[in-house]
């Protein structure tokens, strides 16, 4: 899932209690589920960082005055927006619950989702 719109995620912004049976319904193994979620969270983190960097590059200043770069209010607002988004692990858990993560286990050819 590339270029996800993180503004539209229904993931919580703080830790919530999860249903273990729901999380392991496909893998039947909590450790495998944790690995799947962790790998997806890493993908999301990279996507979010690339998206943020791309937006901040628009404000790149090539002047010698460093204060100008740090005082750009729009840049600060964009950064604050990304800080308020749910963490990548919480987004990945939400995707798992909504059955939106594709994965395959190379050691078990039958396990693919």
Q: What is the pLDDT of residues 82-101, one digit of tens each?
A: 999 999 999 999 999 999 99
Convert the pLDDT of each residue in 30-86 to its tens digit: 999 999 999 999 999 999 999 999 988 877 665 555 555 555 788 888 889 999 999
* Confidence tier at 2 by pLDDT (50, 70, 90): very low
For the chain, give percent helix, strand, coil, nearest 5: 55, 0, 45
CA 96 – CA 102 distance, rounded (Å): 9
pLDDT at 8 > cutoff 90: no
CB atoms under 10 Å from CB of 59, counted, come to 13
pLDDT of 25? 92
CA 18 – CA 56 distance, rounded (Å): 35
pLDDT of 89? 94
pLDDT of 12? 87
* Confidence tier at 24 by pLDDT (50, 70, 90): very high
Phi/psi for 112 (5° steps) reads -150, 140
pLDDT of 111? 57
């Amino acid at each position: 899932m590339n270029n996800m719109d993180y503004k539209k995620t229904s993931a919580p912004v703080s830790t919530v209690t999860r249903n273990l049976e729901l999380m392991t319904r496909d893998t039947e193994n909590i450790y495998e589920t944790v690995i799947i979620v962790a790998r997806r969270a890493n993908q999301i983190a990279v996507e979010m960082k690339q998206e943020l960097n791309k937006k901040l590059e628009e404000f790149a200043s090539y002047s010698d005055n460093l204060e100008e770069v740090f005082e750009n209010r729009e840049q600060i607002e964009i950064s604050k927006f990304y800080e308020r988004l749910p963490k990548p692990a919480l987004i990945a858990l939400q995707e798992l619950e909504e059955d939106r993560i594709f994965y395959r286990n190379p050691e078990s050819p039958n396990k693919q989702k």
